[in-house]
């Protein structure tokens, strides 16, 4: 298989369970049909025999779709499988030496964690692509030396002499600048999650701010289980003629109540509207959350972080509305707990993360009991 790289790539990295390979292989085939361009076999702590067995199964699935199989960090396995390529970490060998072993037609990629490594990679003719590792924080890789971020990724691409792939913590919420191909890949990702019966939390970032973002959010909406946005974003999803002020809108969540209810009626989805009063709407239940503090509005990205917490609750509670409501209550109580100790945005943010990690459950119980008593 040719080691040439096309203009755009979508690499999938394996996360195969220890058992039930058949279901996972169906997922891989679906991914191949949906447009992945490369598959990287990366299963940490697996034995050589297990990797070899899975590698052969993957090759059989990928071959009809001409999707190359790249082995992560294991030259001997790549040779045994006669795989299409090898991905090297910084401690996994010299690309020129590996090229001499694998030959001219294999794909060789290299993880890059800082600018010095990128400059060194630029001098090598043995590398087919470099990976900016990591673009965002990732739970799948420990001891990350550098988080590139989107601005850093842009500079990375300008500096690199080789094609670049971005890796690490990339998801539907941080898909970045939109174009037709990028939007297509986001929709493909949503379809894959739906096929796997995984709960999808959609944040319609900037819906209403631009036509392209609004269209993409509306296209992704049927693929999501939970939609969490601020008032202007939810209103934009309900009406493409509405114009918002971007991701940090000041429109009160109650103003989006009718829009949220209309979306629920049309789609049967769970809608979460963030604001001074957080609203949760679903076909079978509605909730309001009045916890939270003004200081939360001074920290950019609080809504995006809430998405991750909602997803965590939804992973263990199949009632999307209840999971969303409990996640919002937990999240805002953590903020109130943090504000007991810190009153400025920067220090509050750090303390808030600590409270997410280690909440004061007894204090939570007191706050909830007092709030319930007031309402009664």
- Report the distance separating Cα 303 and Cα 173, nearest Å: 11
CA–CA gap between residue 183 and residue 194 (Å, rounded)? 17
Kindly indicate the confidence band of residue 181, based on its pLDDT and cuts at 50, 70 and 90.
confident
In the chain, the domains with their CATH numbers are 11-170 (3.20.20.70), 180-375 (3.40.1190.20)
pLDDT given for residue 174 in this prediction: 65
- On the 0-12 / 13-18 / 19+ scale of CB atoms within 10 A, 2 is exposed
| 319 CB-near residues (< 8 Å, 6+ apart) | none
Strand partners, 287: 280
Instruction: Answer whether residue 253 shows pLDDT above 80.
Output: no
Confidence check: pLDDT of 279 > 90: yes
- pLDDT at position 364 is 94
Kindly state the average pLDDT of the residues 71-78. Answer: 96
Position 192 pLDDT exceeds 50: yes
Instruction: Indicate if the pLDDT at residue 246 is higher than 80.
Output: no
Alpha-carbon distance of 217 to 201, in angstroms, equals 12
Instruction: Return the ∠ at Cα 336 (arms to 331 and 339), rounded to 5°.
Output: 125
CA 72, 76, 82, 86 dihedral sign is positive
The answer, yes or no, to whether residue 210 has pLDDT greater than 80, is no
Determine the pLDDT at residue 323: 96
Per-residue pLDDT reduced to its tens digit, 290-348: 999 988 988 878 888 999 999 999 999 999 999 999 999 999 999 999 999 999 988 99
Closest CA to 305 of 332, 325, 286: 332
Helix 361-375 × helix 320-339 angle, to 10°: 110
Q: What is the pLDDT of residues 53-66, one digit of tens each?
A: 999 999 999 999 99
How many other CB atoms sit within 10 Å of the CB of residue 228?
Answer: 29
Provide the pLDDT for residue 38.
95
- More confident: 306 or 236: 306
Q: Compute the distance between CA of residue 360 and CA of residue 364 in angstroms, rounded to an integer.
A: 6
Round to whole Å and give the CA distance between 236 and 238.
5
% of the chain beyond a pLDDT of 70: 89
Model confidence at 195: pLDDT above 90: no
For 246, how many CA atoms within 13 A lie in the half-sphere containing its CB?
3
pLDDT class for 373, splitting at 50, 70, 90?
A: low
Residue 206 has pLDDT above 90, yes or no: no
């Amino acid at each position: 298989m040719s080691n040439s790289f096309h203009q755009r790539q979508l690499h999938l990295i394996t996360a195969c369970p220890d058992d039930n390979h058949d279901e996972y292989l169906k997922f891989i085939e679906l991914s191949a049909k949906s447009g992945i361009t490369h598959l990287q076999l990366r299963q940490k702590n697996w034995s050589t025999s297990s990797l070899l067995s899975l590698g052969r199964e993957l090759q059989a699935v990928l071959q009809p779709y001409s999707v190359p199989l790249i082995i992560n960090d294991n030259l001997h396995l790549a040779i045994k499988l006669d795989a299409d390529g090898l991905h090297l970490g910084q401690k996994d060998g010299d690309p020129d030496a590996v090229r001499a072993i694998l030959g001219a037609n294999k794909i060789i990629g290299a993880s890059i964690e800082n600018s010095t490594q990128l400059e060194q990679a630029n001098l090598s003719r043995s590398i087919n692509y470099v990976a900016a590792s990591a673009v965002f924080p990732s739970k799948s890789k420990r001891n990350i030396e550098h988080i590139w971020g989107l601005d850093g990724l842009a500079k990375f691409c300008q500096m690199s002499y080789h094609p670049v792939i971005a890796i690490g913590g990339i998801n539907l919420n941080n898909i970045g600048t939109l174009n037709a191909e990028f939007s297509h890949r986001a929709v493909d990702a949503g379809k894959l999650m739906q096929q796997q019966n995984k709960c999808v939390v959609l944040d319609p970032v900037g819906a209403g701010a631009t036509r392209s973002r609004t269209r993409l959010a509306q296209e992704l909406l049927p693929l999501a289980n939970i939609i969490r946005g601020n008032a202007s974003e939810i209103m934009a999803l309900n009406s493409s003629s509405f114009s918002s002020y971007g991701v940090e809108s000041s429109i009160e969540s109650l103003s989006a109540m009718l829009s949220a209810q209309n979306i629920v009626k049309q789609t049967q989805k769970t809608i979460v509207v963030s604001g001074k009063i957080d609203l949760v709407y679903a076909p079978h239940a509605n909730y309001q959350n009045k916890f939270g503090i003004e200081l939360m509005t001074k920290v950019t990205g609080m809504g995006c972080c809430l998405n991750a917490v909602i997803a965590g609750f939804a992973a263990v509670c199949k009632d999307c509305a209840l999971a969303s409501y409990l996640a919002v209550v937990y999240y805002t109580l953590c903020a109130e707990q943090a504000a007991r100790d810190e009153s400025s945005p920067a220090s509050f943010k750090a303390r808030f993360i600590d409270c997410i990690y280690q909440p004061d459950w007894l204090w939570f119980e007191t706050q909830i009991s007092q709030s319930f008593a007031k309402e009664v």
